[in-house]
Amino acid sequence: MQQNFMLKFEEINEELEIKDNIPDTKLMRKTELYKLFNLYIIGIKHILSNHLYSLYENLYSNFIFFVYLLNMLPCNSGSHQNE
Q: Mind listing the pLDDT tens digit for each residue in 68-79?
A: 888 888 877 555
DSSP type of residue 19: -
Q: How confident is the model at residue 80 (pLDDT cuts 50, 70, 90)?
A: low
Q: Mind listing the pLDDT tens digit for each residue in 5-30?
A: 778 777 777 776 666 667 777 788 78
Residue 64 CA, chain-centre distance (Å), reads 26
